[in-house]
A and B are shown apart, each in its own frame.
Chain A
């Protein structure tokens, strides 16, 4: 497909919310790590669905139900093509990354026995820690982790030590939500596979910045959320290799996931429906398909170049501020800038930035172990997306200087 040239003005026009004001100030939205804004094409698609297509799917013989079903399944195909999966039925729609990880933790661990081992890392979001802790407790599994290093990278050299004949799964994040570090996914996956260990890749922070091809990476599972990739909230994807998904029991029971039900027993449906009990987030799936189609029209290389320039520009200016310290200093980093100003609590800065129209996230970013590692209560996180500009970085830095002056 021929990609259009990256025109930031033209891109910004596609995002109506970027014109909003916060009090007297123009909105500067730097909380993209938490959720991205939506292009008009996605918003219009959602409205079109409710205006013209709304009905339940996979059941009705009537016109609307068929249109809805077709469009929902087209969205599944769009996801498959976007991430390069072998089969459509390897795409399971979920409510988001958290549900995807919980699904795998629940269903995959059911086939494990006491003493089997799981590896995660110290930089994981709580959603890639807690589900494994719950299963470890329930089945007597051993949970190990790859430790962090001071520059915000993981000590992957420890992987060989941690892998044993009992290591059944390694679950790690592709990009750290609180530090921005990009992990060398392909290399790590190959190492795990050489040990016979399966791999789940948390790609919640990835697709908005970098393409992922699951066949090339060879991950066994991959999860992401719609709302962080310019799609709607409440929808996400679990990709799983066909044989992996077939070998796992469903974890939710209900409609759509069955072939037949008697009062004595149930025969489960085939993939992907086995894992999609109940009426799904139909419009969410369709909106996500539209968002990914929109993202495909852009050239990732140009997006990455633009975001790298923003990160570099912001980093340099930030470091000129007295007492600024950046957390996450890997050379291999995406456009997430986590920092503190010495002697000032991140909440105070966040509050005063908000007064000036700047949306950042403050706190532990659902990665308390990372904060504990650095011995800090939290950070201020500015996370840039493809629609952000250098002019917005200037506004952010000016607002930050004003805030620090008031707080010192």
Chain B
């Protein structure tokens, strides 16, 4: 499935929740379900700066596609990373770099997009794209 299609699937998923509680309960579930990452991968160079919570992101190239794994010590942050991974993992570096990621606004998470010091969604997306670019160069 292309990135845009996966974004649409998430928009559809979220459209059934009409209040903030249900939406956040879903994000919290996604956070809890995100596969654990190896503690050895939680190194300073994999830590995304600019988040109030700690976030670690690992990117690897498998058969020309970027595969992301991640973790955070805050569960809502982890849920939001899970959404990003759902959309961007297993895609080509070029597609990832070009991704518009309109779904964030569409599902009502735009408050996490403001470039303030309290949240790191912008920093997360930037790092995912940079990692994809770096993997493309070394491929």
A residues adjacent to B (C-beta < 8 A) = 23, 344-348, 350-352, 354-355, 362-363, 377-378, 402, 406-407
Q: Of A345, A352, A377, which one neighbours B24 at CB under 8 angstroms?
A: A352
Report whether A345 and B74 are in contact in the complex, using a CB–CB cutoff of 8 Å: yes
**B54 in the interface (beta carbon within 8 A):** yes
Are A406 and B24 within 8 A (Cβ)?
A: yes
Chain B residues with Cβ below 8 Å from A354 are: 111
Q: In the complex, A355 Cα to B28 Cα: how many Å?
A: 14
Binding site for A on B (CB under 8 A): 20-21, 24-25, 28, 52-54, 73-77, 111, 118-119
Looking at the assembled complex, report how far the CB atom of B34 sits from the nearest CB atom of chain A, in whole angstroms: 14
CA distance A193 to B77 in the complex (A): 50
CB distance from A371 to the nearest CB of B (A): 12
Across the interface, name the chain A residue whose C-beta is closest to B111.
A354
A23→B75 contact, CB < 8 A = no
Determine how close the nearest CB of chain A comes to the CB of B104; give it in whole angstroms: 15
User: Which B residue's beta carbon lies closest to that of A345?
Assistant: B74
> Is A378 within 8 A of B74, CB to CB?
no
Within the complex, the shortest CB–CB distance from B126 to chain A, in Å, comes to 19
Whole-angstrom distance between the Cβ of A309 and the nearest chain B Cβ: 30
Point out the residue from B28, B53, B74 that lies within 8 Å of A406, measured CB to CB: B28
Q: Are A406 and B73 in contact (CB under 8 A)?
A: no
A355 contacts B24, CB within 8 Å? yes
If A362-B52, A377-B54 touch, whether A347 touches B24 (CB-CB below 8 Å) is no
Bound form: Cα–Cα A407–B77 in Å: 12
B75 touches A407 (CB 8 A): yes
Complex: chain A residue closest to B80, CB-CB: A351
A347-B76, A348-B77, A363-B52 known; 14 new pairs, CB 8 Å cut-off, are A345-B73, A346-B52, A347-B53, A347-B118, A347-B119, A352-B24, A352-B76, A377-B54, A378-B52, A402-B21, A406-B21, A406-B24, A406-B28, A407-B75
In the complex, are the beta carbons of A377 and B28 less than 8 A apart? no
B49 shortest CB reach to chain A, Å:
14
A407→B28 contact, CB < 8 A: yes
Q: How far is the CB of A139 from chain B (nearest CB, A)?
A: 31
Contacts of A351 in B (CB 8 A): 24, 76
Within 8 Å CB of B20, what residues of A?
Answer: 23, 355
Interface CB pairs A-B, < 8 A, 30: A23-B20, A344-B75, A345-B53, A345-B74, A345-B75, A345-B77, A346-B52, A347-B52, A347-B74, A347-B76, A347-B77, A347-B118, A348-B53, A350-B118, A351-B24, A351-B76, A352-B24, A352-B76, A355-B20, A355-B21, A355-B24, A362-B52, A362-B118, A363-B118, A377-B53, A377-B54, A402-B21, A406-B24, A406-B28, A407-B75
Residue of B nearest to A362 (CB): B52
Among residues of A, the one whose C-beta sits closest to the C-beta of B112 is: A351
Q: Using CB atoms, name the residue of chain B closest to A23.
A: B20
In the complex, A355 Cα to B22 Cα: how many Å? 12
Q: Which residues of B contact A407 (CB under 8 A)?
A: 28, 75
A194 to chain B, nearest CB (A): 41
Residue pair B25, A377 in contact (C-beta under 8 Å):
no
Alpha-carbon distance A363/B28, docked complex (angstroms)? 20
